[in-house]
Structure 1
Amino acid sequence: MGGACSRKRYQQVREDDVRRGIPGKYCKNYSSKWLGSSLPRAGAGMSRGSTCPTLMELTIHKICEHINEYSSFAMIPRDISQQIFNELVDSHLLTDVSFEAFRDCALEDVYLGEYPAVRDSWMSVIASQGPSLLSVDISASDVTDSGLDLLKDCPNLQGLTLDYCYRLSDSGLGFLSDLSNLTTLSFKKSSSITAQGMAAFAGLTNLKSLDLERCPGIHGGLVHLRGLTKLESLNIGWCNCITNSDLKPLSGLTNLRVLLLPRSKVSDDGVVFLKGMHELSLLNMEGCPVTAACLETISGLAKLSHLNVQRSNLSDDGCDKFAGLVNLKVLNIGFNNITDACLKHLKGLTNMESLNLDSCKIGDEGMAYLEGMKRLRCLELSDTEVGSSGLRHLSGLRNLESVNLSFTLVTDGGLRRLSGLTSLKSLNLDTRQITDTGLASLTSLTSLTHLDLFGARITDYGTNYLRYFKNLRSLEVCGGGITDAGVKNIRELTCLTHLNLSQNCNLTDKALESISGLTALVSLNVSSSRVTNAGLQHLKMLTNLRSLSLESCKVAPNEIKKLQLSALPNLVNIRPK
């Protein structure tokens, strides 16, 4: 397979459906009363046939258009200045000059994460919001310790995000000790934070969420968290410095609900310190050197609903303790040396909604133990020994929405057993045994939004069956089996946002003409085909396109660049460049 679409097997998996425990851009704990009337994108709501914008929206839109004409917004109501500020940030129109206009505006939320040019001089304006300021995000900024010191004038600050702020040091952490109202604090990938500097956290007794992911110097510093009894979420994942001794001071944090420590050095002996965390609902130990012996402690955590022990040292011996985790909803035990014998102990976990068995040594017999999981929505079976016979045990799981059968032993005949899973939205069939015949047996699955036929042997004839999947948003049909004639059947899938047709070497410019009406496309890959410069004209209508891959085609990079400049302004990812 070509480099443009070859799969990266055995990559780190970070589950989308497992919440991180860290608030997003705007948290309901912060002020959010202005969100309900936030301004749409510049120009939004003003096109023919759309909802008529409100007078407020029109006013704010006009202000943002002429932002350089205003020197201060301090005299207008706070909720309006907040909306203006947000619109400028989201539109990337905020500058040194326009930012100064928000001095003393009593803003409640300042989100400038990854916004360019944020530095100490901006902190003066941020700090001028005073007691009104509730949340700040200046991630990936050039702010130094001196800039952070200015936040002492904002005593009511509740949320502070300082991810990827490489110019901060332990001295800067010391300035946080006065912010006693902080409930959320994030320092992702801050290499300058040390165990000694973490002493500043000891006084943040109202802290509920702390994120120290990828902070390599915090070994020994968790001792300063002992008094933070309100802490509910702690992320110390991907910190290779964390060992068993670091977990000992956490044993008294009985209100913890989320604990993330993937890729750390915590072993079975360290897990023992979690014994008293009876409120724990999410535990991520992916890649930790733990064995099934740790389940002796974990099985006592009655409220545990999400558990990730992927890529650890689990084997069948000791897996009987899984049976006690009756409240589990999400379980990730992929890439472990477990067999069908382990699955026997999962039989009674009827609350299960997501189960990841990727690359485990399980087969058809083990599938029988999943029959009682009627609430199961997501099942990952990639790289297992499951075949067509095993799929008969899934036919009664009518709530399944996502199934991954890539690199399994499943054949066309087995796919008939999935035909009754009418709730299925995502199906991965990246396996050479699947042909047009198998695809034909899936036409009842009209709810599918994602279909991956990356390695399947689909021909032009098989593409006729794609017409049944009107709701498809993502489609991959790679591998050389289809021609321009087959692509004509794809042009009816008008909901498609992602289309991968790479490795079909017989596709020509006519294929691009066939898909020119798929105006919802955001990503298109037609690499390793016979597409030429002349075919690029058919892409001019795909104005939503953000990613375009035409590697190993007879297309000149400068011609793609011309297309981008003239017709595809949203295109940001281009191959070849």
Structure 2
Amino acid sequence: MTTPQALRKRWKIAVAVVVVFAVMGWMVGLPAYQRHQAIQGIERAGGEIHREDRTSSWFARLIRLNWRGQIVGVTFFRAGKKYNSRGLQHIPSLPTIEWVILNDSLSNGEGLEYLNDTDVKTLQIGDSLIDDNGLKHARGLKGLEALLLDDTEITDDGLAHLSGLTNLVSLSLDWTKISNDGLEHLTSLTNLRSLSLTGTRISDDGLKHLRGLTNLTRLTLVDTNVSDDGVEKLQESLRSCTILH
């Protein structure tokens, strides 16, 4: 015969089990709901989610609710009139995102501040509407490692916003409006390994600002006003760098 004490004990155990499962369900369900809402918000703003299968087994995929792969990137490529900078505010809800591509979009830089507290390592905003004023929204992306700004309205003044992005390893400024004066803002980016300045207005006079970037392994100076003599002198400071001219 079951005693009242035993019944109470069983009841407490049952309640505890229910509470544990409820908490586990909340811990799994809430992030999943937040991810779903974030994905919808990005897609409404003209974005596309990109996934990668980084799990090693079907069991790992099952317990992570990750059958479709881990979300690693977002593109707004040719989003046209659908593009809305508010779509970027959903990216912090997707903590596995590593890269964001805004190439050929209507992005003017607004909304980039939403990426400040994320693990985004690569940002591409080529052939977009971003200018010096818009680039100020990117100055808080301290963890950024690769930045592409090709074919934009960026000038020397805009490069001042990049001086604090000291984790940058790759920077591309092809066909922007920068000149010799702007290169001074890059002197703090000593971790750079790749720098592309194709089609810019720089000349030999500006190369002095690049001499301290001794970690460079690739420098592109095609279609600039830099001379062969200028390249030769710069090469003396950047001995491990391949300079394309």
Q: TM-score, normalised by structure 2?
A: 0.69
Tell me, which stretches of 5 or more residues in structure 1 are unaligned? 1-20, 32-130, 135-154, 159-179, 185-207, 210-231, 406-577
CA contact (8 A) 2:116 2:142 kept: no
Q: Which moved more, 1:328-337 or 1:239-248?
A: 239-248
2:220 pairs with 1:345 = no
Tell me the residue number matched to 1:250.
Answer: 91
Structure exhibiting the larger radius of gyration computed from Cα positions: 1
Output aligned runs, 1:261-276, within 5 Å.
261-276=102-117
CA contact (8 A) 2:144 2:165 kept: yes
Alpha-carbon separation, structure 2, partners of 1:257 and 1:183:
17
Match of 1:324 among 154, 161, 164: 164
Tell me the residue number matched to 2:205.
Answer: 365
The structure-2 alpha-carbon separation of the partners of 1:323 and 1:264, relative to structure 1 and needing over 3 Å to count, comes to same
Match of 1:385 among 208, 225, 228: 225
Provide Cα deviations, 1:18-38, integer angstroms capped at 9, x if missing partner: xxx865xxx65345xxxxxxx
Output aligned runs, 1:477-488, within 5 Å.
none
Tell me the residue number matched to 2:55.
Answer: 29
Kindly tell me the number of residue pairs found equivalent between the two proteins: 194
Provide Cα deviations, 1:472-498, integer angstroms capped at 9, x if missing partner: xxxxxxxxxxxxxxxxxxxxxxxxxxx
Tell me the residue number matched to 1:399.
Answer: 240
Tell me, which stretches of 5 or more residues in structure 2 are unaligned? 1-49
Alpha-carbon separation, structure 2, partners of 1:236 and 1:156:
30
CA contact (8 A) 2:111 2:137 kept: no
Tell me the residue number matched to 2:66.
Answer: 181
Alpha-carbon separation, structure 1, partners of 2:146 and 2:113:
18
Tell me the residue number matched to 2:214.
Answer: 374
Alpha-carbon separation, structure 2, partners of 1:30 and 1:359:
45
Alpha-carbon separation, structure 2, partners of 1:28 and 1:256:
13
CA contact (8 A) 2:221 2:244 kept: yes
2:194 pairs with 1:354 = yes
Give the secondary structure class of the aligned counterpart of 2:237.
Answer: coil
Offset of residue 296 of structure 1: 2.3
Q: TM-score, normalised by structure 1?
A: 0.31
Letter paired with 1:258: W
Output aligned runs, 1:57-76, within 5 Å.
none
Tell me the residue number matched to 1:295.
Answer: 135
Output aligned runs, 1:214-293, within 5 Å.
232-240=72-80, 241-277=82-118, 279-293=119-133
Provide Cα deviations, 1:498-528, integer angstroms capped at 9, x if missing partner: xxxxxxxxxxxxxxxxxxxxxxxxxxxxxxx
Identical counterparts, % of pairs: 24
CA contact (8 A) 1:311 1:333 kept: yes
Tell me the residue number matched to 1:466.
Answer: none
Tell me the residue number matched to 2:148.
Answer: 308
The structure-2 alpha-carbon separation of the partners of 1:317 and 1:280, relative to structure 1 and needing over 3 Å to count, comes to same
Output aligned runs, 1:36-51, within 5 Å.
none
Offset of residue 357 of structure 1: 0.5
Tell me the residue number matched to 1:336.
Answer: 176
Offset of residue 271 of structure 1: 2.4
CA contact (8 A) 1:367 1:394 kept: no
Alpha-carbon separation, structure 2, partners of 1:398 and 1:183:
46
CA contact (8 A) 2:113 2:141 kept: no
Offset of residue 252 of structure 1: 4.2
Tell me the residue number matched to 2:5.
Answer: none
Alpha-carbon separation, structure 2, partners of 1:322 and 1:247:
20
Alpha-carbon separation, structure 2, partners of 1:309 and 1:348:
18
Alpha-carbon separation, structure 1, partners of 2:157 and 2:201:
14
Offset of residue 269 of structure 1: 2.1
Give the secondary structure class of the aligned counterpart of 2:213.
Answer: coil
Offset of residue 255 of structure 1: 4.9
The structure-2 alpha-carbon separation of the partners of 1:372 and 1:238, relative to structure 1 and needing over 3 Å to count, comes to same
CA contact (8 A) 1:254 1:276 kept: no
